[in-house]
A = this chain, B = another copy of it.
């Protein structure tokens, strides 16, 4: 049993507190299921940026990799405050009233600060975790990085200091006086699905889709 994330000025909801959770397990579950996140950072001139990227997580560390030239990687590693948001859309909520139209969603907002990984073993492990997060079983089924590739890759870690999960689910929240309305109301469920794998046109003949790829579909 781990204790929940702290409620602070950054994470205290000002509305709909019943939709918000500070518990670690459900927060981590959304982070681990999300294929990407949106990383927010601010330049010294005050300009915010929001950039989508892939990630991996171990305990309270998020790993990100990119070119050593990447503005995103350098921003994460700067030690300045970062916000990292993971979002699933689960449906469109059609309410009887215009006012109560909404989305069903799960969204984690995580705050932390980052640094560049320097230790070669830790860098290699973070690289492995990122590939494995994208496609479980892939690391042993691809060519692992050579020295030049490892050198050209920056890997940043972000310590999650605070995080919240906000969830909306279920039917619309119409007011009592609208319940007898003749307007249809309900939810249009949404989900992300994978199609059949598209082999690289330059694959050698006879190379069939391996089990670790097939397992994703």
Contact = CB atoms under 8 A, between A and B. Distances in A.
Interface in A80-114: 80-85, 87, 89, 91-92, 94-99, 101, 103, 105, 107, 109, 111
Interface string A6-41: 000010001100000000000000000001101111
Contacts of A190: 35, 192-195
Contact of A52 (B87, B142, B194): B87
Contacts of A46: 42, 80-81
25 contacts: A35-B92, A38-B50, A39-B50, A41-B48, A46-B80, A47-B111, A49-B109, A54-B103, A89-B192, A95-B142, A96-B142, A98-B127, A98-B139, A98-B142, A98-B149, A99-B153, A101-B131, A101-B134, A143-B181, A184-B213, A185-B200, A185-B203, A186-B200, A191-B193, A192-B193
Given A36-B87, A192-B193, 5 more contacts: A48-B81, A94-B213, A171-B200, A179-B202, A184-B208
Interface of A: 10, 14-15, 35-36, 38-42, 46-52, 54, 67, 69-71, 80-85, 87, 89, 91-92, 94-99, 101, 103, 105, 107, 109, 111, 127-128, 131, 134-135, 138-139, 141-145, 149, 153, 171-172, 174, 178-204, 207-210, 213, 216-217
B195 A143 contact: no
Number of copies: 2
A203 to B, nearest CB: 6
A171 B197 CA distance: 11
A202 B40 CA distance: 40
B48 A142 contact: no
Nearest to A209: B184
